[in-house]
Amino acid sequence: MAITLVHFADVHIGVETYGRPNPETGLNTRVEDFVRCLEFLVDRAIEGEVDLAVFSGDAYHTSSPSPTYQREFAGQIRRLSRAGVPVVLVAGNHDTPGTFGRASSLDIFGTLEVEHTYVFTKPRLERVETCKGPVQIVGMPWPSRSWMLTREEYRKLLEEELVGKMEEAYARLLEGFARQLDPDIPSVLAAHVMVRGAGLSGSERGAVVGRDPSLLPSVLANSAFTYVALGHVHRHQDLNRGGRPPLVYPGSIERINFGEEEERKGFCLVRLEREEGETIFGPWRAEYDFVEVPARPFVTVEVEVGDSEPTDAIVDAVRERDLEGAVVRVLYRVREGKVLVDLGRVQRALRERGVWKVAGIVPQVERPERRPRAQISRELDLKEALRRYVESNPELKPLEEELVQYALRLEQELEE
């Protein structure tokens, strides 16, 4: 007999970059993309009659999502719970408020006591009953200072010591839970955390100041767990491939930016099976498949203009690529400072290829020596720092205003 579960993470409802308001629905079109992928996942979970759903954090892009975003995420989670599927919800860093006493964006499921939902905003071991029997869940939300350290520890420690202390506390806590597990019952560690050595997409948001705790794979790959369901890193990967237990990031369900261009997006369907015979491990083992969702493609068209007529070179490059329904940026490399490009012709060529959104058509100027890194010191204000950063990363130029706007909003949010 096998217990099946769907494992997903990093849903990030609220990412609006490259989208526009859809007058038919009132939703931003990029938010619709994210919801479509989540809906696809829930469809598959319900059709496949999974016994359990494990969500490893980052439901929303901000810790105070609008009622509209809550409707979209909660509506899909409710479909699972209505179908009788127990849903484990672990708070990620995006779901967690920065201040003591504030509620997480996932708390509403607990407050309203939604049947079949299990919210983890603090670490906890809970036995969850599924149709096919119990599963032991160790839920480890994002390691925030509020639950990892006492007030006294926090006061006494230096900034540099804090992260190390949190990592130690996390490992100790996990070891304690692992010892309490009943080996006759399958167990899942659901953790929103950074594992050392994981390949990042670059779209993960970390600490604003200082360093976030990160754990060694060996700390998490405790053989007391049948499966380790991770969240936080947007690129799908197994950090214990072939080993037991699997240590799996399913990755985000949609692309947040061009950092995720090359990645497949999806979720994991996991089977927890009871093995015959004796092994050095417990009687339960996990196997899983990665299932792709219909995420919107992001495509970078890079063009070496060389000695050709630049507009011709770009249009030719555009015509060679499959750009249907994609968010596209064109980066063309030219030798000298000024080159005249007929942007109208390029735009037309892009439209003919069925592009969904042009993120930018940006020259990359070759220089004999490498551009110096932007000089960013802590003393610069955020806006100025961002502008300087964009100066040394010209492919970001088309996004500059948006970047600054989002950054300032974020800063304001943090200050509040």
Residues that bind its own copies (CB under 8 A): 22-23, 25-27, 63-68, 70-71, 74-75, 78, 82, 97, 99-105, 107-109, 111-114
Q: What minimum distance in Å lies between the beta carbon of 65 and its own copies?
A: 8
What is 247-285 written as a DSSP string? EEE---SS--SGGGTT---EEEEEEEEEPSS--SS-SEE
Sign of CA dihedral 165, 171, 175, 177: positive
Q: Are 119 and 129 in contact (CB under 8 A)?
A: no
Q: What minimum distance in Å lies between the beta carbon of 357 and its own copies?
A: 20
Q: What minimum distance in Å lies between the beta carbon of 114 and its own copies?
A: 5
Residue 245's nearest CA partner among 267, 214, 266, 273 is 273
Q: Are 192 and 56 in contact (CB under 8 A)?
A: yes
Q: Are 35 and 76 in contact (CB under 8 A)?
A: yes
Dist CA 260 CA 27 (whole Å):
23
User: Does residue 81 sit in helix, strand or coil?
Assistant: helix
Task: State the CB neighbour count (10 A cutoff) for residue 247.
Answer: 24
Q: What minimum distance in Å lies between the beta carbon of 68 and its own copies?
A: 4
Q: Which is closer to its own copies, CB of 79 or CB of 271?
A: 79
Q: What minimum distance in Å lies between the beta carbon of 103 and its own copies?
A: 4
Q: What minimum distance in Å lies between the beta carbon of 104 and its own copies?
A: 6
Q: Which is closer to its own copies, CB of 114 or CB of 166?
A: 114
Q: What minimum distance in Å lies between the beta carbon of 190 and its own copies?
A: 20
Q: Which is closer to its own copies, CB of 27 or CB of 138?
A: 27
Q: Which is closer to its own copies, CB of 82 or CB of 211?
A: 82
Dist CA 282 CA 305 (whole Å):
60
Residue 400 vs residues 211, 337, 396: alpha-carbon distances, Å: 26, 20, 6
* CA dihedral of 138, 70, 83, 295, whole degrees rounded to 10: -90
Q: Are 266 and 250 in contact (CB under 8 A)?
A: yes
Q: Which is closer to its own copies, CB of 71 or CB of 271?
A: 71
User: How wide is the angle at C-alpha 58 spanned by C-alphas 220 and 138, nearest 5°?
Assistant: 35
Q: What minimum distance in Å lies between the beta carbon of 13 and its own copies?
A: 12
Output Rg (C-alpha) for the chain, integer angstroms: 23
Q: What minimum distance in Å lies between the beta carbon of 75 and its own copies?
A: 5
Q: Which is closer to its own copies, CB of 5 or CB of 74?
A: 74
Q: Which is closer to its own copies, CB of 21 or CB of 199?
A: 21
Is-cis flag, bond preceding 97, omega within 30? Answer: no
Q: Which is closer to its own copies, CB of 109 or CB of 258?
A: 109
Q: Which is closer to its own copies, CB of 26 or CB of 242?
A: 26
Strand order in 187-192's β-sheet? Answer: 124-130, 133-140, 187-192, 227-231, 247-249, 237-238
Q: What minimum distance in Å lies between the beta carbon of 98 and its own copies?
A: 11
Q: Which is closer to its own copies, CB of 380 or CB of 404?
A: 404
Dist CA 178 CA 192 (whole Å):
17
* CA dihedral of 226, 79, 26, 266, whole degrees rounded to 10: 30
